[in-house]
Every structure is written in structure tokens, then in C-alpha cells.
Amino acid sequence: MALAHGRVIPARTVGLTLLGLLPVAFLVVFFAWPVVAIVGRGFSAGGVDTVLGDPQTWRLAGFTLVSAAASTVVAVLAGLPVAYLLARVRLPGVGLARTIVLVPFVLPTVVVGLAFRAIWPDGGVLPLVLANAFFNVAVVSRTVAGLWAHLDPRATEAARALGASPWRAFRSVTLPALGPAIASAAAVVFLFCATSFGVVLILGGGDYRTLETEIYLRTVDLLDLSGASALSLIQFAAVVATLVIGAVARRKRENAVKLKSAKITARRPRGGEWWTVGAAVAVIGLLVTPIVALLVESVSTSDGWSLAGYRALNTTGENDSLQISGWLAAKNSLAAATDATLLAMAVGLVASVVLVALRRSPGRLARGMGETMDVALMLPLGVSAVTVGFGYLVTLDALPGDLRTSPLLVPFAQALVIIPLVVRMILPVLRAVDIRLRQAAATLGASPARVWREIDFPLVARSVVAAAGFGYVVALGEFGATSFLARPDAPTLPVAVATLISRPGQLNNQMAYAACALLMVVTVVAVALIDRFGSVRGRSTVGEF
Amino acid sequence: MALTVRDLTVHYGPFAAVRDARLDIADGEVLALLGPSGSGKSTLLRAITGLEPVSSGSVSWDGADLAEVPVHKREFGLVFQDGQLFPHRDVAANIAFGLRMHGVPRERHAARVEELLTLVGLAGYQRRRVTELSGGQAQRVALARALAPEPRLLLLDEPLSGLDAGLREQLAIDLAELLRRSKITALLVTHDQEEAFTLADRVAVLDAGEIRQEGAVRSVWNRPADDGVARFLGVTSFLDGEARDGVVRTGLGPVELSEVDDGPVRLGLRPHGLKVSADGIPGEVTAAVHRREHLRLVVRCGESTVDAVAPAGADYRAGDSVRLTPDPDGIAVVG
């Protein structure tokens, strides 16, 4: 990289800055402002210090961190053999496994909560930890597999030739090389687990509360804003710390180990490697179990097999539990997810382009700005959806055309959730575009803007489509912010599901399960399509962090 | 002069990768920048292309300064060491890329692509995917792509270094023929003397960021400016002597060299500058290595140790006594 000793072209820097303002402005208006407003209200109400001094607060924080850590450990342990399967094994069905692994990650939290409650009806710590891990096995296995598939196997072979046993070679050569990917994935998983809402709400019951559910409880039920603010601050601090650790791990990965084309490294397992394959298959089996249980549940009643639940989607449920029919809720879901995806793609694409351009530019300051923005974009993942949602209600009336009553309110909140995911999918591919390809295009007469159009965009097109599909699925299943913001007369399907299971009546239950099954089918089909068509040169970046 | 480079300096932080470089390339001429790796030759090429910010000095074309002209408006074609073909386009679309950028009407593309593919010996490859090409084929396509918009200067950055030896030789010959026939003005960067001499009319030798010598290929080879250039051009030992009437008297006997002025001279000996013969200077072999075309020896002659060659069929070992006579063909005049 050339350091700035020569002339800098001011016009380009100015243009880049202006472009960069768009995602920044979005984050400021629809994230920072609402969050700050809520936290500020808590402070002005007083009593924040009392909450911070209360040992019960710290027990809550402790439980959040410990249970998230436990889930992370489970997810990493379960994810590693699957990562091995995806990266190094050539067997029929590995492609299918790659798709299946991703399904839990995009399942609506309500669906997963329900599925685990079908197995542990009383909830508790164990199902809570397992359910959070269940979501995130995909993050670990796909992130680690992404690096593992490109790791030069000859380093391990060299260790073996020098007398290391297979296990020793793995421990002293492969594992350190995978370290950055594992750390990066673990940081993200920890983040997801520590801020998980729907699952904890359904499985934790009144006994096991985390910061996230407590913020919800204090805000909605107790109207204790100062308590909620104090808890938000604690959560925020933990989130920023986790993000920074993750960013450092990612930076290490980028100038890590020698990489090879993925095709060469996968082969048929032999000897003891079959044990690892077996472990991976077992993990996948466990991932599939709740899904299958749910599907079975959706068609079984006390009187035997029945499609009553699906038929009931035409209605508003037993005793009119819903204000609109299930199908209308589904339509709401599709519409909101479409808007959210369009919005997130616009912001996410611009953010990715700016981040890459900043990184490519020679100045130190520009690169520092890029890294800061990179971390800032991840923040929405880690701040309580409830805080954001409630923040919307107290701030957005200041904007023209009162968003609070607009049907766009839910899409904005959902977009905030999926923007970090979109950026994480597009950015690595954009970064991987060889700078010399761009230089070759320039020498052939392509202007800087033309280089973007002719080289970068075609090369990342598939990732963009995949990111859009992935974002769409996640928006479909989004529960935390949506449950808070969706008006009762316009619920999305996950919100309708949550309402249905909180009401009595077997038909309501059936209907909830049927709606979950629908969400799941849409999710599975979308994920399969993304994996098939959205991969770049045989490599899909869906779910890699 | 087509290209003129004056006092060009490129910094990487505090480190000057290129210092005060001066170059001229005439229309239709091929100049090779020759130097060991890390000598700054690629940096100089990239600075001329406009890809590397320049600290001071100037690059101009036909007298017009290029400082404010961005890369894409310089009309310089660039061929990278490893092709850098666009993976999302087929061969024809790669070659037509520059035509599109320069607004050449679409209906003229096919004919031009075909012409270029024929020129580089790949007729009929239009619809191939670039990922299916071999290294040599990819490099030929890269060349065709760079030539398509008829650049006023072709820049070649180690164009043959990534290829196997046999292929490299063949492609060098093809490329030399193509450059001469089409009268292309070109700047070639290479660390390989053979390549430079096959392709270029003139060479500039770079070391540690500075141009040490510049001139016609033969004259640089026969008269390297200093010991450093001489070493880079294959000289392994030096010998001081006194010239008179076309004969240089040295410690290893007289050497017949025409075009040497009378007075003290310094000779640079390449290994084949001393040959084993029936008479001549006696010495003792200290090492022998078999090469494809000859047997290479290290010989101690009194105080000094020199490199020498014997015919490939000969069999000498360490400790054997030999006699050496100088061969003017392997001897350069330094300075």
C-alpha cells in the first residue's frame, strides 16, 4: 500500500465522505437517537444509580453473561465437527448438510422457543442454553468452514511427517490457524445469545430472566424507565467489548495463513476422521429434531392427524384471539420483510462500498474511519430490540410524517436488524476483489466509477442477491422489535404465533404450529436457493462472520 | 521522444523505492527495465502507469506532462505478471473490454478480437472461459486485451515470470516478433537478462531504486558501468589489466579485446570467459558442477579464485590440475 506522499484527489475523498454519510445518517436517526433518548429519559427520571448499586441487577447481568457464555461454548463445540464436515469432507449429502445447518439460524425465535417447549414443557436453564446454542451452530460451523476450506492442508501434512499424531497435528497446527475464525464466530454468537429475546421469554418463564427480557419487562410492564436505562447501559458496554474482540479477531484472520482453493482440500474421510464425521452427523440430527417435532406437532391433534391448524389460518383463531386472519398476518410479514430488505440493501450496499473504498485508500485516517464504521454497523445486533423499539416511540414523532403510526415503522426496525448481516455478507467478497483486476480495468480506460460497475459489482452480484435473500428470511422471522412495534391490528406472522400460544384453546395451538411450519418452509426454500445460486465460485458466505 | 521520465522519485513512507529516475523511450522502441527483485523496477513501471503516487519528478508523453492525467486516460496498456483476466467474462469480452471503454462501436469488436487472437496465436478462443486457460494462454489473452485499444505505450510487468521455462522461451520469441512487427512502443520490467535481451532494443539496469546504466542491449552487456551492474549481468570475477593495441595484459595472460582504449582497464569475467585448454595459466580445481551445456569449475590460480568452464563431456574433480585460457566472448569491460 502506498502511503500518502503524493497528491490526494480531494474530489474523490469528498464524494466518498458524502456517500458514507447515508448509512451513518440512517444509523444516527434510526438507531443512535432512539437509544440515546431512551437512556436519557431513564437518567433524567433518576434512580439509575440505585439500580446500578442493586446486587440483583448484577445477578441478572451475571446470569446473562454466564448463560450466553455457556451457549457459546456449546455452539462452538457442536459447530467444529460440522465445520470439518463442510470444509474438508467430500461425501454425498454435504451440500444438503450445508443448507440444513443454516435453517435454525433464520428460524423465528418464537418457532424455536415453541419447538424446545415441546420437548421441555416447563422450560428452565438447560433448554434455554441449548436453544440459544441451537440458533448459532450455523454461525460457528459456516464461519470456521469458510476459513478451513481454504487452509493449505500441507502444513498439517508437514506436522504429520515430523511425527505428530493426527490429534496433535490438529491441536498444534490446524486449531491455531482456525483460531481467528473461531474467535470471530464466538464473539458474534456470544452477542446473539446475550441479547436473545424471544427464546428467553418463552423458555425462561418468570424464573430465568436476562438483561434483554428484564429491559422489556421494566419498560412495558413496570414502566420503570430508569431501571431499563441502567440495564441498557450495562448491556451496551458488554456488547461493545464483545464487538471489539470480534473485530480484532477478524483483522487477524485477514492477514492469516496461506490459503488455497477450496476444491483441493476436500476429500473422502479415512480412519479416525469418520468419528468426526459421525459427530457432525449427530449434531445435524439434533438440529433437525426440533424442526421435525414442530412439523409433526402442526398436523397432530388429540384426535389424530389433522390439517385443522392450517385450515384455521383462514380465521382469526379460537375466540378471535387475533384481530386479523393468519393469512393476512402472513401477508403483513411478506410486505414488511420486502420493505425492510429493500431498505437494508440500500443502506448495506452503500455502507459496504464506502467501507471498502476507505480501506483501499492510502490514508491512515481513512482506514481508521473504515474500521470504526465497521464496528458501529454491528452495534444494532447487540442493542436490545426493545430499547430501540421504545426509542422509536419517543423520538420519531419529531420527524415529518409521523413514522410511529406508519406501516413503515416495522420495516425500519427490521432493516436495522438485518443491515449488519447484509454488510457482513457483502463486505468480505467486495474486499476479496483483487486490486490488480481494478488496475487492469483502469489501464484499459475505465474511470473509477466505471471500475465499480464493470469489475466490483459483477463480481459481488451473487453475494448481493444472497444477502438480500438472507436478509429477507431474517426479517420474516424477526420477533423482538416487531413484537414491540407492530400494531395489534397488523401483526406479522411471528407476532401472531406468539399471541396464539399465549391464548387458551387447542385450535390456537394448532394454528400457531401451522404458522411456524409455514415460516419454516419459506425459510428452508429460501436458504436452499441462496446456497445454490448465491455462492461465489463455489463458496457461500451466508452466515459467515 | 515518446515517453520521458525525469527525476522521478517514489516513496513508500520514508523509504525511497525509486530515486531520481531518468528514462526516455522513442517511438516504436522497446526498453527493458532490468534489475534484481526489490530494485524498484515494478514501482517505476507502476508510477509511469499512474498507479503509484509520485513524490517528485515528472512523467511526460510527447512533451506533455502526465501528472494530472489519471490512469484511465493515459492510454497505456498494462500486462501483469499473472494476467489478471476478468474472471466474470469470457476471452472475447476480456479483449473487448478496452474497446468498450474507448467507445469503439460494438459491431467492430468481433473483427478486432479475432484479429488480436490470431496475433497472439489463439484463434478461435473467443468463447472460452478465462478460468479454463493455461498460464501461457492466459498471458497471451492478457497481451491481446492490453493491445486491443491500441495503447500508445505497452507496459509489461514481468510478463513471462509466472510460466514454465520452456513455455517462457517460446513466448518470449513470439512476443519479440510481435512487438517488432507491430512497431509497438513498450516498456518491459524483468529480472531475467535473457528475456530483456530477447525482447528489448535498449535496457536500463536498476539497483536499489536507482538506474545504474542505460543503453543498447549489446553495449550494456559488453561494457557494464560498474561492478554492481556487471555482477547482475553474470560477471563472477574481476581482473585488472593494461590495454595496448587491442590486447589486455592481465595476471591470467593476454586477452584480445578490440575497441578498448589503451591504458588501465578492469575486466569482468563471466564463467565462460575462462576455458580449460592444453596450455595457459595453471590452476587447481576446487569444485566442479555439471550443467546442461558445460562443466562449471571453480579454480584456484595462485592467489585468486576464478570461475571457468570445461566441455560438458569432461570429467574434472576437486584437486585436479587444469590450465585456463581467456575467451573474449565471456569477458566484459567494466567502467
* CATH class of this structure's domain A49-305: mainly alpha
- Nearest Cα neighbor of A341 from A421, A424, A457 is A421
Classify domain B3-223 by CATH architecture.
3-Layer(aba) Sandwich (3.40)
Record: contact B98-A444, CB cut-off 8 A: yes
Instruction: Indicate the angle between helix axes A109-119 and A506-533, nearest 10 degrees.
Output: 120
| Chain A residues within 8 A of B54 when measuring between CB atoms | 6
The whole-number pLDDT of residue A362 equals: 67
Q: Where in chain B is the domain with CATH 2.40.50.140?
A: 234-334
* B216: phi then psi, degrees, rounded to nearest 5: -65, 150
The least confident of A2-11, A290-299, B167-176 is: A2-11
Record: contact B84-A440, CB cut-off 8 A: yes
B19 vs A: CB within 8 A? no
| Closest CB to A437 among B86, B146, B149 | B86
The whole-number pLDDT of residue A55 equals: 83
Listed ranges A284-288, A313-317, B30-34; the one with the highest mean pLDDT: B30-34
Sign of CA dihedral A505, A511, A512, A517: positive
pLDDT at A529 over 60: yes
The whole-number pLDDT of residue A216 equals: 82
Complex ipTM: 0.83
Residue with cell 404458522: A515
Query: Is B114 or A108 the better-scoring residue by pLDDT?
Result: B114
For residue A544, what pLDDT band results from cuts at 50, 70 and 90?
low
Give the separation between CA A322 and CA B233, rounded to whole angstroms: 87
Record: contact B101-A445, CB cut-off 8 A: yes
The whole-number pLDDT of residue A253 equals: 54
State how far residue B19 is from chain A, nearest Cα, in angstroms.
Answer: 14
Helix or strand or coil: residue A434?
Answer: coil
Average pLDDT, chain B: 90
pLDDT at A386 over 80: no
Average pLDDT over residues B212-228: 91
Record: contact B72-A443, CB cut-off 8 A: yes
Decide: A241 and A381 in contact? Cβ < 8 Å.
Answer: no
Record: contact A444-B53, CB cut-off 8 A: no
pLDDT at A220 over 50: yes
The least confident of A152-156, A401-405, B19-23 is: A401-405
Q: Residue A506 CB: number of other CB atoms within 10 A?
A: 13
pLDDT at B7 over 90: yes
Give the separation between CA B202 and CA B211, rounded to whole angstroms: 13
Listed ranges A66-70, A300-304, A407-411; the one with the highest mean pLDDT: A66-70
Average pLDDT over residues A93-107: 81
B216 membership: H or E segment, kind and range: strand B210-216
The whole-number pLDDT of residue B78 equals: 92
pLDDT at A255 over 50: no
Longest Cα pair distance anywhere in chain B, in angstroms?
Answer: 75
B282 vs A: CB within 8 A? no
- The b/e string for B109-143 (b: 16+ C-beta within 10 A; e otherwise) is beebbeebbebbebeebbebebeebebbbbbbbbb
Question: The sheet that has B263-269: what strands, in order across it?
Answer: B253-256, B247-250, B237-244, B263-269, B331-334
State how far residue B286 is from chain A, nearest Cα, in angstroms.
Answer: 36
| Closest CB to A445 among B51, B72, B86 | B72
Q: Where in chain B is the domain with CATH 3.40.50.300?
A: 3-223
The whole-number pLDDT of residue B33 equals: 93
pLDDT at A2 over 50: no
* CATH class of this structure's domain B234-334: mainly beta
Give the separation between CA B288 and CA B134, rounded to whole angstroms: 38
Give the separation between CA B46 and CA B10, rounded to whole angstroms: 10
State how far residue B78 is from chain A, nearest Cα, in angstroms.
Answer: 6
pLDDT at B333 over 60: yes
Average pLDDT over residues A377-391: 78
- What does DSSP assign to residue A456? I
Residues 6+ apart with CB under 8 A from A287: A100, A101, A103, A104, A134, A137
State how far residue B292 is from chain A, nearest Cα, in angstroms.
Answer: 33
Helix or strand or coil: residue A259?
Answer: strand
Record: contact A4-B53, CB cut-off 8 A: yes
